[in-house]
Amino acid sequence: MYATRIDLPVALREQVIPELQARLAMAVDLFTQVKQAHWNVKGPTFIALHELFDRIAEIVEEHGDTLAERITALGGRADGTARVVAAQSGLPEYPTEGDSGRAHLEAVAERLAAFGRSVRAGIDRASALGDADSADLFTGISREIDKQLWFVEAHLQSDR
């Protein structure tokens, strides 16, 4: 732990930092997986999905940065290298065999939902530990990820 004047006890910070790190690993993984969809989507809705996936990736990247900054503000070290992320992320591997818009929408929706679930677990854990700021950070991420999931699922709920 790095020294900080933040008045949260070291014991609390030592417990909340791994919660933040777990979500950071998932966020970095989710970012790369959504970019995979962005780069490889094909079909009649290409441009709409290409742009949607790019916007989602940007949002997820911003959340990853926020998580990393919270870790370091609490005196921890944010680890987001490809190797660390691969070892720590709980997201399933992105399927590379499909290129249709629907296949990518399904894959992205599944991963957004998994990340949202994980972030909500982080809200509960940070709240139980007494770290209202980290709980609030997780709450903001949860709200935005749910919104992005709604955008993706709206495409899947059509009759097309």
Domain total in the chain? 1
Q: What is the pLDDT of residues 66-104, one digit of tens each?
A: 999 999 999 999 999 999 999 999 999 999 887 899 999
Q: Residue 94 falls within a domain, yes or no?
A: yes
Q: Residue 3 falls within a domain, yes or no?
A: no
160 pLDDT higher than 60: no
Q: What is the pLDDT of residues 34-61, one digit of tens each?
A: 999 999 999 999 999 999 999 999 999 9
Measured in whole angstroms, the distance separating CA 95 from the mean position of its chain's CA atoms is 18
Cα four-point dihedral sign 61, 66, 72, 76: negative
Q: Residue 82 falls within a domain, yes or no?
A: yes
- State pTM to two decimals: 0.95
Q: 80 lies in which domain range?
A: 10-156
Q: Residue 1 falls within a domain, yes or no?
A: no
Q: Residue 2 falls within a domain, yes or no?
A: no
Q: What integer pLDDT is reported at residue 99 of this predicted model?
A: 82
Tell me the CATH number at 25.
1.20.1260.10
Q: Residue 63 falls within a domain, yes or no?
A: yes
Burial of 1 (0-12, 13-18, 19+ CB in 10 A): exposed
